[in-house]
Amino acid sequence: MGLTLPDLLAFNVVLLAALASPGAAMLYITRMTVASGRMAGLATGLGLGTAAALWTLAAFLGLEAVFTLFPWTYTALKLGGAAYLIWIAIQTWRHARRPLGDAPTPKGRAFASGLLVNAGNPKSMLFAAAVIVVIFPQGLAAADVALIVLNHWLLELAFYSLLATLLSSGPARAGYVSLKPLLDRIAAALLGALGLRLILEK
């Protein structure tokens, strides 16, 4: 049995619900966009979406089985992701009172940071694996898998592009600038908490 349109629509509904829920990705692109502008936000979203789509591909390729056979690989990846989130939190807290610079964040750096935020969360792959098992039939052709991964990537890009466009408006940036020390420290605390949660969760 091959891929059907209802299957793909069901996958998209679940994915959109996951994207809209608060988490490290949402928090990070929000801060990057209001701090550095629309282009930085778009590049960050591209990195986040690319990593998420690659996790879905990994789920189809059976990386979950590798994590089961070699638990240390999952642990190492999770700890690496947690360390990166905590590092971002520390830097954000340290520079909370620093005024915004005139130079925007380079697009390459914004993309890489978004990629690392989602790549360092192997739970994204476990979520994708669970959704795939529930929604899609077994034994999908390679073309069907490629279509699902491409669909995932495009949906993530559309979501984050819309978010970056909305958050980069003048009022949003002005509001951020006026409350930067407080908002940066809230963001730092939340990112740090997410990193610690990754470390402490089994």
Mean pLDDT per 10-residue section of the chain, whose length is 202 residues: 85 88 84 88 95 91 77 82 86 81 76 90 78 82 92 96 89 79 85 83 70
| pLDDT for position 46 | 96
Q: Which two tokens stand for residue 168?
A: 């980069």
pTM across the whole model = 0.82
- Alpha-carbon distance of 142 to 101, in angstroms, equals 47
| pLDDT for position 158 | 96
Given a contact cutoff of 8 angstroms between Cβ atoms, the answer to whether 135 and 14 are in contact is: yes
Residue type, 158: A
Q: Please report, for the chain, the start and end positions of each structural domain, with discontinuous segments joined by +.
A: 5-200
